Amino acid sequence: DAKTTQPPSMDCAEGRAANLPCNHSTISGNEYVYWYRQIHSQGPQYIIHGLKNNETNEMASLIITEDRKSSTLILPHATLRDTAVYYCIVGNQAGTALIFGKGTTLSVSS
* CA angle 18–37–11, rounded 5-degree value: 35
Cβ proximity to other proteins: between 75 and 85 the closer is: 85
Residues interacting with other proteins, by CB under 8 A? 32, 34, 36, 38, 41-46, 49, 87, 93, 95-103
- To the nearest whole angstrom, how small is the minimum distance from the Cβ of residue 85 to other proteins? 8
| 62: phi then psi, degrees, rounded to nearest 5 | -120, 120
Closest to other proteins by CB, 18 or 88: 88
| Dihedral pair phi/psi, residue 50, rounded to 5° | -160, 160
Q: How far is the CB of 86 from other proteins (least distance, A)?
A: 12
Point out which residues pair with 10 in neighbouring strands.
106
CB of 15 vs other proteins, minimal distance in Å = 26
d(CA 76, CA 47) in angstroms, rounded, equals 13
Alpha-carbon span 14 to 110, nearest angstrom: 5
Nearer to other proteins, 3 or 49 (CB): 49
Nearer to other proteins, 14 or 101 (CB): 101
